[in-house]
Structure 1
Amino acid sequence: MTKYIPFILFTVFTNAAAQVMLKYGMMQLGTLSFAGANPVLKILQIVFSPWVFLGLCTFVISMASHLFVLSKVDLSFAYPFLSLAYVAVAVFAYFVFHEEVNAMRIVGIALICGGTFFIAQSGGTGHADPAVDAVEAVASDTASHQS
């Protein structure tokens, strides 16, 4: 259902923001070597570095948002929107990390955007549970007959 698209986009952008934070955090840590180090301590060092930790927390927010969306719309409607995170990450990577975005990536991004547009146009039933849809339809029909 299109009224949930803002929540879907919130999920997409928090997912993309988490990726950027994780990348930045790993860049701050530099080249990692587990040689001669306690692997558990090294992993804790990585996880609790500020940008990596913030990225992981942002992923949790993104996942909570995605769970909310899944409770409201069809999976086949909501999930393809997550591909827009690829688009957002490519744009962020270009501007923040000065990564190359060549013609092939631009074509791929255009295809993702086009596919997402068609998914958005298809709409969603509103609920993954047909029983909820039926109850809402009856309630709506009853309300319209009473007025």
Structure 2
Amino acid sequence: MGKRERDYGAALIAAPVVCLTYYLCCTTDTPGIESLFDKKQILLWGVIIFPLVEELAFRGVIQEFIAAKTKRLHLLGSLSAANILTSLLFAALHLVYHQAFWIILVFIPSLVFGYFKEQYQGILPSIILHAFYNLNFILFVGSLR
């Protein structure tokens, strides 16, 4: 198993930590995106549709566009300018339905999704990670409410 695969495994393991951090740091009485769906639809939308659409748009289109314009410039070690800018936009757009603290909890995983999109030169790894993070959030944080 290579470094890339070990890093990907670590990113998967980090999902419950992100969810627990959200639960411990944020109030849980503020309605979020889940208020738009009944409980039967949350898994479909949260684990399949949102990760697929968001990763296609953000990693597949926006990150690629920025990468082409910035000539794949890396600003922070392994993090490209395209990944950082895409992640900032991705996190900011999540503020529509979430508290301000949520931006940190979306920004950091978004950097991870973008990193693996670049490492694997495709968006499937980022879609899987995004779906797994959302599943953990739904199962752990959603059940703690």
How does the TM-score come out when normalised to structure 1? 0.35
> Which of 1 and 2 has greater Rg?
1
How does the TM-score come out when normalised to structure 2? 0.35
